[in-house]
Structure 1
């Protein structure tokens, strides 16, 4: 999915102009925080894991959140294994650093981590390594 496709997706909420493209990379939590001007924790990161079979799962978490393997296994019923960069691209259609839950190549399950509840607003990527949108909890 391209940045323009992400903007088109957000037209249904009149938010297409809220997708921001930056001249610098926002591909990592630290880069996004610096580029956007927020704390690293407010950058919503997408963690891609191998689900059952070949299906991937995506977990959207605060930039400072860590995955607890024991809790993950209890929640999902299997040991989480992060996808390789090639697998992420294959499963989502997005490169690492630009993964977002829109325009996905396949239909993975997407989970929102409780770590996001601390913030009124977060900044996830919008299909490119130099984009973001400000989202609220409303």
Structure 2
């Protein structure tokens, strides 16, 4: 169902052909990288947090980890991940397929892109299911995710 919402969304943008569905799970960065056939850092994982009772999605490179001091400086609160139930309520996507696309209109969700992605020209976020991905340039990701902008809240990644 969630993949269908993403498929419909990307069809409206003329990008439906970019969605890949796999016969295997892509629910983790490692599994997604194997399914896509790319290095794990090119997987654009979507992390979901609760900030002031609203959902904040941060799309980051597969090798990046949230840096708590940077997160607190950016959002003025500690990083608190959503529960699996909250993830579905806010995003309409289940854990393993969370993506910044086709979000419920009534959801108070803001999407940010972490600068850990900026070393790549093409990345692979999920497309609403635990066995999908969509190939997007950074400009396409920014536009398709209706991003609120680029932020720097991650660590443990290295520039190319």
Name the SS for the 1:44 alignment partner.
Answer: strand
Give the whole-Å Cα distance in 1 for the aligned partners of 2:124 and 2:81.
22
Aligned match of 1:109: 110
Number of aligned residues: 137
Gaps of 5+ in 1: none
Shift of 1:2: 2.5
Q: Deviations over 1:49-107 (max 9, x none)?
A: 1111x211000000000111001101111111111212211211111111111222313
Aligned match of 2:97: 98
Q: Deviations over 1:1-49 (max 9, x none)?
A: 5322211111233111211111100010000011111111000001111
Aligned match of 2:130: 129
> 1:23-34 alignment to 2 at 5 Å?
23-34=23-34
The TM-score, its normalising length taken from structure 2, stands at 0.81
The TM-score, its normalising length taken from structure 1, stands at 0.94
Aligned match of 1:89: 88
> 1:1-138 alignment to 2 at 5 Å?
1-52=1-52, 54-105=53-104, 106-138=107-139
Gaps of 5+ in 2: 140-160
Provide the aligned C-alpha RMSD in A.
Answer: 1.2
Runs in 1 of length 4+ with deviation above 2 angstroms? none
Shift of 1:109: 0.7
Q: Is the contact between residue 2 and residue 92 of structure 2 (CA under 8 Å) also seen in structure 1? A: no
